[in-house]
A and B are shown apart, each in its own frame.
Chain A
Amino acid sequence: MEFDWDWIARNTDSLGEHALVHLRLALLPVLFGLLIALPVGVLCRRWGWLYPPALTIANVFYAIPSLALFMIFIQYTGLTASTVMIPLTLYSLSVLVPNVVDGLASVSDPVRQAATAMGFGPLRRLLRVELPIAVPIVIAGTRVAAVSSISLVAVGQLIGQGGLGYDIIRGYQLSFPTQIIAATVLIVLLALVTDAILVTVQRLLTPWARVRGKVS
């Protein structure tokens, strides 16, 4: 088998285009997932009895294969991007909801009491104290969700919405390994870059972690 560099050179434009579509299909669901998981996590933390049912629902979705979930949604949303993005959003919830809850649980009681003593109301305490402390655990979950979402999108090509999945299937149909490798490697690269960006975001959001590291 030979790797066809010429083909890569001739097709950088279309590969780049597919990569952008791929990122959009993969990361918007994670963003939606976060937007849902944050309030749900806060509510679960506030009323503990909500957590077990919420977790069970999230886990049930996780047990459904992506291809199967795409099929189920075809009926409702047709062969559109939503059919890929809604299942991916549901998947991200199974990682994000527990991580938001764990993150909020990692705030120690003395810290919470200190915030109250300083005159923080419940909302301001949540936004200024509890959520910032939860950031590392929430981001850890976001990284897992983002990476698996990026690698899952390719399957969406079976219903015509797969970003770089197009090149994987095309390469398979033409028995042309170069195109499959190119797309697969690009997907891994997208995942690694996204992961690195999330780590950077975490460092920017938690400046105290760095300071503490230097002092000790």
Chain B
Amino acid sequence: MHYLDANATEPLRPLARDAMLAALDIVGNPSSVHTAGRAARRVMEDAREQLAARFGSRPGELVFTSGGTEADALAVHALGHGRCVLIGATEHDAIRAAAPDATVIPVLRTGVIDLDALAMQLAASGPALVCLMLANNETGTIQPIAEAARVCRAHGALLHVDAVQAAGRMPVDMTVLGAHSLAISSHKLGGPIGAGALVLAPDLSAILPLIRGGGQERGRRGGTPPVATIAGFAAAASVPAEASPLAALRDAAESRAIASGAIPIGVDAPRLGNTTCLALPGVRADRQVIAMDLAGVMISAGAACSSGKVGDSHVLAAMGLRALAGQAIRVSLPWNATEADIDAFGTAYARMADRMRAGLVPHAA
């Protein structure tokens, strides 16, 4: 089996697993005053310090959540209150669903946010919260966040950055980006599923919670934090994310697919080293995913609903693609991808493309 769907979830990194196993035997609840509680609290606060340092923030400004979706929802809830919300056209559903009435900022055909449009939209709006993703989950497109941040500041707007796909795959620093908040997910960077964080700018760190509960996380997120999961999260995030070794493998996979008739999407803008989005004209994306899975290669397409059905991609539609928006798959290499995986992908893709496209003409009617 060849797992090439890292943007859905990364395989657990061994050091994250080790950190979790060690933390799983700690008995205490980090809110308890006794010795056991303090032991649990220490593990959690160590993790908070490591993660805050990793993303250019301070420990008091990092709120643990259940994952990226909750971090995004908390940011929109807390920072969007009383503000007009603007979101990029290619944002993840975590943001789209949290801000259903938001103004949509268009993207250029390259997938990059239209900064001129953003400036005009901000000039016409009142106090605003802008939500942009650092790297796109379907195409890997990296947004010019620092430039967007300058536009936001010029108009007095707040900027929330969804860094869920970027963290662990490229340098991510709050200060460098100029963001007011940052959403991070553990399992997208090789940690366990079940933890995430919202990192806040110093002057915005006292926010209203979505879940009040017992006042944990300084009243910003109620509920007992999953200590072992958080320990694994921090351990996984400690892996350096500079210069990705995956780009060469990704390029090899992409070349093989292009040779079989694929059109790569989003190649005219900077993108994550592990991601390629490949359209096969005339062949439905769901059929491609099934055929590849039956050949032992796991990739994905578009936005899979909880039913598992694959719909057309709003990301590709926003980039001006029409039919191809329903005919593209996403290949995203995990941190442990090998040449054997790429070879298996190339072979399976070629066979799939031959069989599916051979069927196109007789079934055209």
A and B pair up: no
